[in-house]
């Protein structure tokens, strides 16, 4: 599976890259701006793990741009958060219909997500 990780903590991305090396194609972006730039070049991902709170472009802003430009990715979004610290972030998460992953999490949590997304993808491609 192709996984896009958007998080301003480089160590998190590197840890996930190492954990999935050889099993999944992992792309790391260390800012919201970097992620949007990357998506302009290639928006073919099966899962997007996106931090909510980032200093340059927030995860919610990345998501809103993705909804407009790459609507097929909306179903692939999972927000990672160590806590929604602003009223705006809490409101966004309350309205976001997708999966949310609380930090800290472990590799098995991501493995479960990947299996779920892979199974859902298989079910969709098996439909007539």
The model carries a pTM of 0.87
Domain ranges of the chain: 2-121
Mean pLDDT along residues 72-80: 93
CA nearest 79: which of 65, 61, 99, 64?
Answer: 99
Q: Among residues of the chain, what percentage have pLDDT more than 90?
A: 60
CATH architecture of 2-121: 3-Layer(aba) Sandwich (3.40)
Residues 6+ apart with CB under 8 A from 67: 74
Give the pLDDT confidence score for residue 84 in this predicted structure: 58
**HSE (side-chain half, CA atoms, 13 Å) at 110:** 26
Residues 6+ apart with CB under 8 A from 26: 3, 5, 16, 17, 20
Instruction: Give dist(CA 34, CA 94) in Å, integer.
Output: 26
């Amino acid at each position: 599976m192709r996984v896009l990780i958007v998080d301003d903590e480089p160590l998190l991305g590197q840890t996930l890259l190492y954990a999935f090396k050889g099993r999944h194609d992992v792309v790391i972006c260390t800012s919201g701006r970097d992620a949007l730039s990357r998506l302009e070049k290639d928006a073919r991902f099966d899962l997007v793990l996106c931090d909510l709170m980032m200093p340059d472009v927030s995860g919610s802003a990345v998501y809103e741009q993705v909804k407009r430009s790459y609507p097929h990715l909306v179903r692939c979004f999972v927000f990672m958060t160590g806590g929604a610290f602003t009223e705006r972030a809490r409101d966004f998460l309350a309205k976001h219909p997708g999966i949310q992953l609380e930090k800290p999490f472990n590799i098995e949590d991501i493995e479960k997500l990947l299996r779920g997304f892979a199974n859902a993808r298989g079910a969709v491609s098996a439909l007539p």
